Amino acid sequence: MNTVSTPPPYPHRTIKSWVRRETTLSSKEQDFLDCSPFALKSLEDLIAKMHQIVNLGKPLFLDMGCGDGQSTLQLAKWAPDAYIFGIEMHTPGLLKCLLKAHSEGLSNVFLFQGDILDVLEASESLIFDRMHLYFSDPWPKSHHHKRRLVQLKFLEALKPHMSSKTIVHIATDWAPYSEHIRSVLNMCQEWLNYRSQHPSNTINLEFKRNPTKYEKKGLAKGHVISEFYINLSETPNS
């Protein structure tokens, strides 16, 4: 058995939206991860793969904090012509997603273990057709609010990756986080539009996800799901 810990914190970022966890993988699991061409081993490999997809003229989707990849796999089946990049800090979720993608014969899912903020920074001006953030950790305690992923700096990090046809889709079941997201989005109204329904005049079709594990948990507790569809404000409103 090998023990894998999450990668060391990046020195320039002190507040994390994720928690460090130790993970134990069997040697078979470790080999599978090490040998899979769909598990990208470094930021450089990830960015090179993304550029390769763009050069093929194929749509590029990003599933940010993809967990065990339930929505990543759904997206891959919904849009077989697109390439989905699932980014997640923790190995077990990535491994589960990779195994499922392999057993279902999906070849348009690539996974990377790392912090989405580092990925956004390193991918510079690569344009994504869709960027999804589903059920991001709500960090409910007030002294943890600074750890929520959706902050001004996160939206600003998304901006260079958006074109007029890009849709950013955020969903949460935690009402106070939803309010927080709304207030941060309101700070960016100069350059973005958001609404609770998929804009009807985009060339992107609406992706209707099946509830993920976290979404189901929220629904079982009677939580209401908030959806935010975000695009650049140059795009005419519906």
Ligand X SMILES: C[S@@+](CC[C@H](N)C(=O)[O-])C[C@H]1O[C@@H](n2cnc3c(N)ncnc32)[C@H](O)[C@@H]1O
Residue 67 makes contact with ligand X by CB under 6 A: yes
Residue 213 makes contact with ligand X by CB under 6 A: yes
Closest CA to 74 of 136, 129, 134, 33: 134
List Cβ neighbours of 119 (8 Å cut-off, separation of 6 or more).
43, 46, 62, 87, 112
Q: Which is nearer to ligand X, 116 or 155 (CB)?
A: 116
C-alpha–C-alpha distance, residues 71 and 66, integer Å: 7
Question: Which of 50, 65, 161, 169 contacts ligand X by CB under 6 A?
Answer: 65
What letter does residue 117 receive in the DSSP assignment?
H
How many CB atoms neighbour CB 199 within 10 A?
18
**CB of residue 174 to ligand X, shortest distance in Å:** 10
C-alpha–C-alpha distance, residues 88 and 149, integer Å: 13
Residue 113 makes contact with ligand X by CB under 6 A: no
Q: Which is nearer to ligand X, 36 or 212 (CB)?
A: 212
| Binding pattern for the stretch 88-107 against ligand X, x by CB under 6 A and - elsewhere | xxx--x--------------
> 62: which strand partners?
85, 131
Which stretch in 23-31, 50-58, 110-118, 196-204 sits in contact with ligand X by CB under 6 A? 110-118
Helices (H), the chain: 27-35, 43-55, 70-78, 91-103, 116-122, 152-158, 175-186, 213-220
Residue numbers 143-172 binding ligand X by CB under 6 A: 149
Determine the length of the chain: 238
Question: Which of 18, 32, 78, 207 contacts ligand X by CB under 6 A?
Answer: 18
Residue 117 makes contact with ligand X by CB under 6 A: yes
Q: Which of 34, 81, 118, 137 is catalytic?
A: 137
| Residue 137 among the catalytic residues | yes
**CB of residue 233 to ligand X, shortest distance in Å:** 26
Using CB under 6 A, list all residues that contact ligand X: 17-18, 65-67, 70-71, 87-90, 93, 115-117, 134-137, 149, 212-214
Catalytic positions are 137
